[in-house]
Structure 1
């Protein structure tokens, strides 16, 4: 997704190292005792969280990342002074006053983990947190400093449930049976579900636009919180947003990274998910979790007044007006297709198609095709064209970060998301507990290592020799940070790179001057002819989509995506700038994790917590 030019430069923060004068013997360190002692010290320090008190328990450049537990927002504070200011805030201090930290016991996965090297002795510790309002969990990364004192480099706290409004799952699952006298309402489960989903006599509290992974995950969590929620989608079936994409599309992220909340993919699931299979799964997901979804439905009119929306929907040719309190735009992390116009394109005799509408590569057998763009989609389309007998050329206008699926992607995901790795909830807690600045520092090291001759180095060198210009991502931090920062311009290599190196897929790096009758003329004077031009030029920002569908929010909503000054995401899952309006998007992993916070944020308002 093209990010509005409001992404704040994210300064990488590597973990600390120390020169130990007399380090303790690792065998003498009882990690559980260290954590218990530390939690007692931390609890005392945060009773009056002055910078002076905190410097004894948090490293000077340490972090406190919080997701909804201390405030109803996503926040990261860096440095003892800023953490002190954050913890001393009016809202934070009130909730912090009843904060209780205790180690989780009884689960071997949650035992503290000790790691020892010449320059670092540290402990990864899981915690439970509790306030008057809710329950949560977190992670503390402790480091032994040069004075042999344990201090936190990162502290993470997150709200997981509201005490008075738990999710309807586990011990709180619905009964399901219709036992006893049903004479007052003899409808069976199917009939009751149909009535509930149709909102025949009521309006949903939350209306979600888009039934992809973003809309369905937040809807699943809202319905578990018993907040009436309706999802609408313009397509005839749930999952069509994936089924309708280009023919060869398979997810580039592996299954371990892509599970959805409540219903993980089965053990038989392929490592990389084909688009139609994912579409079918989303349809099954919505049905199994009893998420009310109206397909073939679009909003036609909208207004916001006195804390409520008035939305007119067109469904199968009929109109219906609803009055939800919240709207969630979940039409994708990307907005409307970004379809640039070029001088002279009206004289071009061939077809010009945006990738969102492109299909049927077999019809171009034996023909030259230009693919404008150099990210995942452009590579996939070029690879599909070559496989179907066409002669594709990728038009690269700026540099691209390339990471191999075989070597680079596993290195990036590490032992967190992998076969026989932690359960996804555990993996998520490990991954998302890290401030993005720390993640960036880790990834700088990974990307530098991947350039070695035994890893991705030969592919990168071969691409550069073929005229394909690569980069290492923002400050050398690679794919993930580039995805967060600018939303594109990367490729997870599943085969197209070797085709470029071997000359099977052509490359032209340069700026387009104009279209000609037969193809494209470039600023260097070269002209390339083609029977068709595919624009793999990405999508506009979600902010544009919001203004197009709901004109009243156009000038109110803030930029979507990229980093804020604290290193959290701008606007996504947070205040949009317009009351009762929210943005939901990103990949499956981020939808899985952050859907929880958007649902709890809405629940906090609805149940009167703030």
Structure 2
């Protein structure tokens, strides 16, 4: 998803190092006792969060990252001064209530982890947090400073449930035993579900536009919280947003990273998911979790007054008027294609196709094809073209970050998301608890290491010699930070890089001047001929899509995506700038995690908690 050009610079924050005069041995440190003692100190310090008190428990440049627990927002505070100001605010004091912090216990939580190095001794530990309103969890990362005092480098707290409104799952799962002949309601389950999904006598509280992973995951969370939710999608079937994409598409993220909430992929699932298989899974997911979805449905007009929307939708030729309190735009990659226009397009005698509509590579056997773009989609299409006997050339207009699927991707995901790794709930807590600035620092070190010839360095060198321009991501931080920062311009290599190096896929790096009758003329004077041009130029930003679908919000919506001044994401899962409008998107892992954030944010409002 491309982001608006409003991303703030994100300064990397590496973990601290110290000079120990006489460091303790690992055997002399009881990690559980250290954590219990530290939490007692932290609890006392935040009762009156002065700078002086916090200096005893948090390192000077330490972080407190919070997901809805301290306020109803996503915040990252760095430095004792800012954390003190944040914890002293009236709104924060109200949320804190009778805050209790204690070590986490549970069937998937690990004991505290001690790491002893020459310049850093640290402990990572899971914690439970509780306030008057809700329950939550988090992670603390403690470091032993040069004065032999344990202090936090990062503290993470996250709201996971509301005390008075728990999710209908696990211990609170529905009974399911309401039989027609044993109750005052003569209908059976199937009939009741159909009636509920039609919203004939009531309106959904939340209307979601888009039935991809973003819309379905947040709808799953909302329905478990008892908030009536309806998804509308323009496609005839749930999952068509994936089925309709290019023929060879297989996810570049591995299965361990891609599970959805409540229903993880089975153990038999392939490491990399084919697009049609994912589309079928999304359809199964919606049915299994009883998520109301109207397919072949599009919004036609909208307005917002007095805290409510009026949205007219066209469903299979029939118009319905809905009055939800909240609208979530979850179109993501199924939104409007980003189709740039170039001078001279009208004189070109070949075919110009956006990647969202491109198919049937076999028809281009023996022909030259230009693929404008150099990200995952462009590489996949070029690879498919070559495999079907065509002569593809990638048109690269800016640099691309390249990471190998075999070596680079496992290095990036580490032991967090892997076979026989932690359960996904635990893995997510490890991953999302880190401030993005700290993640950036870790990834800078990983990318630097990957550039060695024995890893991805040989591929990078070969690509550069072939004329393909690579980069290391923002400040050398690689793929993930580039995805967060600019939304694209990266490739997880599954084979196309070697084809470029071997000359099987051509490369032209440069700016397009204009189309000609036979192809494209570049600013350096070179002309490339082609029977077809494929525009692998991505999709429009969700802010643009929102203005197109809901014109009434066009001037109010804030930039979507990229980083804010604290290193959190702009607008996504947060206030959009227009009341009652929310944005939900990103990859499967982020949809899995942030769907709970957005659902709880809406639930807090609906249940009168803020």
Q: TM-score range by the shorter chain?
A: over 0.9
Q: Please show how residues 91-110 of structure 1 align to structure 2 within 5 Å.
A: 91-105=91-105, 107=107, 109-110=109-110
Distance 2:151 2:184 in 1: 63
Q: Please show how residues 441-520 of structure 1 align to structure 2 within 5 Å.
A: 441-520=441-520
Stretches of structure 2 lacking an aligned partner (at least 5 in a row):
none
2:96–2:132 contact (8 Å) kept in structure 1: no
Q: 2:579 maps to which residue?
A: 579
Cα distance per residue 1:528-583 (max 9 Å; x no partner):
00000001111121000000000000000100000000000000000000000000
Distance 2:182 2:36 in 1: 54
1:335–1:540 contact (8 Å) kept in structure 2: yes
Please state whether the residue corresponding to 2:109 is helix, strand or coil.
Answer: helix
Deviation at 1:335, TM superposition (A): 4.2
Q: Please show how residues 263-342 of structure 1 align to structure 2 within 5 Å.
A: 263-332=263-332, 335-342=335-342
Q: Please show how residues 53-132 of structure 1 align to structure 2 within 5 Å.
A: 53-105=53-105, 107=107, 109-132=109-132
Q: 2:354 maps to which residue?
A: 354
2:368–2:392 contact (8 Å) kept in structure 1: yes
2:108–2:423 contact (8 Å) kept in structure 1: no
Q: 1:216 maps to which residue?
A: 216
Q: Please show how residues 169-568 of structure 1 align to structure 2 within 5 Å.
A: 169-179=169-179, 182=182, 184-332=184-332, 335-568=335-568
Distance 2:240 2:478 in 1: 31
1:333–1:542 contact (8 Å) kept in structure 2: no
Distance 2:589 2:467 in 1: 34
- How many equivalent residue pairs? 610
Cα distance per residue 1:185-222 (max 9 Å; x no partner):
21110000000001111100000000000000000000
Distance 2:386 2:473 in 1: 28
Please state whether the residue corresponding to 1:260 is helix, strand or coil.
Answer: coil
Deviation at 1:301, TM superposition (A): 1.1
Please state whether the residue corresponding to 2:428 is helix, strand or coil.
Answer: helix
Distance 1:183 1:528 in 2: 73
1:69–1:136 contact (8 Å) kept in structure 2: yes
Distance 1:379 1:181 in 2: 59
Distance 2:299 2:579 in 1: 19
1:334–1:540 contact (8 Å) kept in structure 2: no
Q: Please show how residues 20-59 of structure 1 align to structure 2 within 5 Å.
A: 20-59=20-59
Deviation at 1:107, TM superposition (A): 4.4
Q: 1:11 maps to which residue?
A: 11
Distance 1:532 1:510 in 2: 19
Please state whether the residue corresponding to 2:453 is helix, strand or coil.
Answer: coil
TM-score of the two chains, using structure 2 as the length reference:
0.99
Deviation at 1:108, TM superposition (A): 7.1
Please state whether the residue corresponding to 1:484 is helix, strand or coil.
Answer: helix
Distance 2:230 2:328 in 1: 10
Distance 1:406 1:146 in 2: 40
Distance 2:202 2:105 in 1: 45
2:70–2:92 contact (8 Å) kept in structure 1: yes
TM-score of the two chains, using structure 1 as the length reference:
0.99
1:334–1:541 contact (8 Å) kept in structure 2: no
Deviation at 1:105, TM superposition (A): 3.1
